[in-house]
């Protein structure tokens, strides 16, 4: 199949995605290893939380393909896409497809919830989230259970997410991973290319992330003094 490279993802969105994957893997490793690694579990957890909050902001002010308004569509579009992918052709979209878009929202919400409950979690021995002291022992215990439970749900969602990416790669012959790594998709020459996509500069994304990260640390530090 003849293809042309078409720019789809800006650098901040790509960095966000792969930092999220590495961050969650590292955080998981630290939590499972325990002991002194819990300090790094909390630090990486706060970093992940900041990544997701950055992505929410970028979803409003970022490049066209990163905007929620561009990729969140009605259930009718989702159903239409579901019918399309059961057909023969490739499945290129100028951004997330209508079905994948809602998975993106679910993943973001799940990671946000995971990070937020972690702030209040406690192992009742040596480690507690920086905000655990703000709630009663019973509430901290409940949020710790939720923190454990949502991680299993997150793993499940991530597995479905990766399975979907593999489905596109091997069944639909659509390489989404390459586009998420390099920013450009191998667009089939036979299919109309997206035109007029606007991209925001990478420095803006990095500045926004820096501000969000600093703000998250500041808010946690202030709240932890109460």
**E strand residue ranges, the chain:** 3-7, 184-188
Phi, psi of 122 (to 5 degrees): -150, 145
145 vs 190, which CB is nearer to ligand HEM?
A: 145
- Name every residue whose Cβ is closer than 8 Å to that of residue 222 and which is 6 or more positions away in sequence: none
Q: Is 183 in the site for ligand HEM (CB under 6 A)?
A: no
Q: Which two tokens stand for residue 100?
A: 């994948």
Do 209 and 29 meet the contact criterion of CB atoms below 8 Å apart?
Answer: no
User: What is the distance between the terminal CA atoms of the chain, rounded to a whole angstrom?
Assistant: 62
CA angle, 122 then 125 then 131, to 5° = 30
Least CB distance to ligand HEM at residue 58 (A): 7
Applying CB under 6 A, the span of 82-90, 141-149, 197-205, 207-215 interacting with ligand HEM comes to 141-149
State the minimum distance, in angstroms, from the CB of residue 49 to ligand HEM. 5
Measured from the CB atom, is 49 or 208 closer to ligand HEM?
Answer: 49
How many whole angstroms separate alpha carbon 171 and alpha carbon 90?
Answer: 9
C-alpha 41/C-alpha 29 separation (Å) is 8
Q: Is 94 in the site for ligand HEM (CB under 6 A)?
A: no
Total residues found in the chain within this entry: 226
CB under 6 A: which stretch of 77-85, 99-107, 186-194, 196-204 binds ligand HEM?
99-107
Is 49 a binding residue for ligand HEM by CB under 6 A? The answer is yes
What is the smallest separation between the CB atom of 87 and ligand HEM, expressed in angstroms?
18
Site of interaction with ligand HEM (CB under 6 A): 13, 16-17, 20-21, 24, 27-28, 31-32, 41-42, 45-46, 48-49, 55, 66, 96-97, 100, 104, 107-108, 111, 114-115, 118-119, 121-123, 127-130, 144, 147-148, 151, 158, 161-162, 165, 176-177, 180
């Amino acid at each position: 199949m003849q293809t042309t490279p078409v720019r789809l993802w800006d650098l901040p969105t790509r960095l966000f995605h792969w930092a999220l994957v590495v961050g969650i893997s590292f955080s998981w490793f630290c939590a499972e290893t325990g002991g002194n690694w819990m300090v790094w579990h909390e630090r990486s957890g706060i970093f992940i939380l900041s990544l997701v909050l950055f992505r929410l902001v970028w979803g409003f002010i970022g490049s066209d393909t990163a905007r929620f308004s561009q990729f969140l569509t009605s259930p009718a579009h989702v159903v239409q896409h579901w019918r399309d992918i059961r057909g023969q052709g490739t499945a290129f979209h100028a951004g997330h497809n209508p079905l994948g878009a809602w998975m993106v929202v679910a993943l973001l919400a799940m990671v946000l919830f995971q990070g937020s409950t972690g702030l209040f979690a406690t192992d009742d021995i040596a480690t507690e989230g920086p905000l655990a002291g703000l709630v009663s022992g019973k509430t901290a215990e409940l949020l710790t259970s939720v923190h454990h439970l949502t991680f299993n749900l997150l793993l499940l969602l991530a597995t479905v997410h990766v399975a979907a990416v593999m489905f596109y790669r091997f069944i639909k012959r659509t390489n989404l991973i390459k586009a998420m790594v390099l920013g450009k998709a191998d667009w089939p020459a036979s299919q109309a290319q997206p035109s007029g996509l606007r991209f925001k500069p990478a420095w803006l994304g990095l500045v926004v992330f820096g501000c969000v990260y600093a703000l998250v640390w500041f808010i946690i530090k202030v709240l932890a003094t109460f």
